[in-house]
Amino acid sequence: MNKAVIIGSGLAGLASSIRLAVKGYSTVVFEANGYPGGKVTVMQDKGYRFDAGPSLFTLPHLVDELFTLAGKNPKDYFNYHKVEVACNYFWGDGSCITAWGDKEKFAGELEEKLGVSASLILSYLQHAADVYEATHPLFLEKSLHKWGTYLSSSTIKATTQLYKLHLLSTLNQVNEKKLKHPKLVQLFNRFATYNGSSPYLTPGVMSIIPHLEHNIGTFYPHGGIHSITTSLYQLARDLGVDFHFEEKVNKIDVQSKQATGIWTEKGFYKADIIVSNMDIVPTYRQLLPELRAPEDILNQPRSSSALIFYWGIRQQFPQLDLHNIFFSSDYKEEFEHIFQKESVSDDPTVYVNISSKEEASDAPKGCENWFVMVNVPPNTGQDWDKLIATVRERVLKKLSASLGVELSSLIEYESILDPRSIESKTSSFQGALYGASSNNRMAAFLRHPNFTSKIKGLYFCGGSVHPGGGIPLCLLSARITCDLIA
């Protein structure tokens, strides 16, 4: 039986292990941490449970298909439901909008609160759906670095839609032209953050992202986002995948342009196939130091990172839901600070996720578990201790003013995650959440392929390679990678 080694047990690594086991490979996963999941992990303390990483779940069929592929019933491992409210939005002037899961109801809310036509919103969302359906088989489900991809019927169909992709305009320019109302533009500009980019730089094709949330839906996995990790890990184990935790890979062995195995501190492990789920930059810098690296790809500007406060709050807030956004007063300045000044603006947008709204057991009775996130630049040597203290004060002031409480007095538990700890815990270069940013109209083609033509038997998956970061794209990355493997 051929042997496959996977480096890293993030979601893409777990999904790859499942797919390769189904293909008949004897599969072994090596993980430097003592737990699976990468960024999709969990924190529990003093009665509070927090999903430590991603908090938004879309395209649940990408998880289900792994169980179906393995001949299992997904519901025996993993369950979820569609949420009624996709997100609540708050502005400093006191106005707020509920983004209902039902798109017609959402459009009606925007018409009532902002005075824009509901038909305008539905038309915008329909356009996003049309372009997504025409292009995702090419840009999200196949390698962009194989000639065969461009000879398929789906590619021909996609090319007929290229004029709709707004590749020569930024997302902000598209939204200003189509939506006009400043609050509406800001609301739809925020979808650039789903791949760690700026709406003032990323191409207008990103206007298809709202399709996932508002046409298909936002979902909540029972047991929290971390249940994606636990269910896939269990499936992999049931398929015979072997896991080596707390065993860091130090080097990929290459002989005569063929990957032959890996070295850890415990010795050498032979392999016929190697898949690296590690960030592509440290994969080259640390595991392939003797190979000439693709510097033009590795030196692409990084995506944004995150500063996250995990707060146990001794009060419940009925005006908040699972997902909540408190917008900045100057969105453009906020992104200029992140990507040009490598800092954080005086008035950052704040995202608050409260999973206890869906599962009361995630917090003590009468309390809530707040995952409070601010988009920040990747780690390039900033004084993070000073920045964290400053941002914390500004976030507390912003949220307290919006909610009419003195929030600091309600915090009974706190933990903090910043770009430095993201980098150290997950090997994400500079703590960037999505690898390279998409602040370039050619960004999709500048991501590293899921393979290398220089070394036979070596493949790559995860958020730092094609097609990108975030739960759905990482799962698609695993599919693309394993489809390349015979």
Name the phi and psi angles at 197, rounded to 5.
Answer: -120, 180
Q: For the beta carbon of residue 15, count every other beta carbon within 10 angstroms.
A: 31
Tell me: the pLDDT tens digits for 354-408?
A: 999 999 999 999 999 999 999 999 999 999 999 999 999 999 999 999 999 999 9
Write the DSSP symbol of residue 462. Answer: S
HSE, CB side, 13 Å, CA atoms: give it for residue 235.
33
**Does 413 score more than 90 pLDDT?**
yes
For CATH 3.50.50.60, the residue range(s) in the chain are 3-37+224-300+438-484
- Residues 94-107, buried b or exposed e (16+ Cβ, 10 A)? eeebbbbbebeebb
Please tell me the distance from the alpha carbon of residue 78 to that of residue 400, in angstroms, as a whole number: 37
Query: Are the C-beta atoms of 420 and 379 separated by less than 8 Å?
Result: yes
Closest CA to 373 of 393, 349, 347: 349
Quick check: helix, strand or coil at residue 482? helix
Name the class of domain 3-37+224-300+438-484.
Answer: alpha beta
Instruction: Look up residue 142 and give its two tokens.
Output: 């196949």
Query: Are the C-beta atoms of 54 and 471 separated by less than 8 Å?
Result: yes
Going by pLDDT thresholds of 50, 70 and 90, the confidence category of residue 137 is confident
Helices (H), strands (E): how many in the chain?
Answer: 16, 19
In sign, the C-alpha dihedral spanning 358, 360, 361, 366 is: positive
What percentage of the chain reaches a pLDDT higher than 90? 89
Please tell me the distance from the alpha carbon of residue 78 to that of residue 228, in angstroms, as a whole number: 7
pTM: 0.95
CB within 8 A of 208, min separation 6: which ones? Answer: 128, 131, 132, 135
According to the model, what pLDDT value does residue 159 have? 67
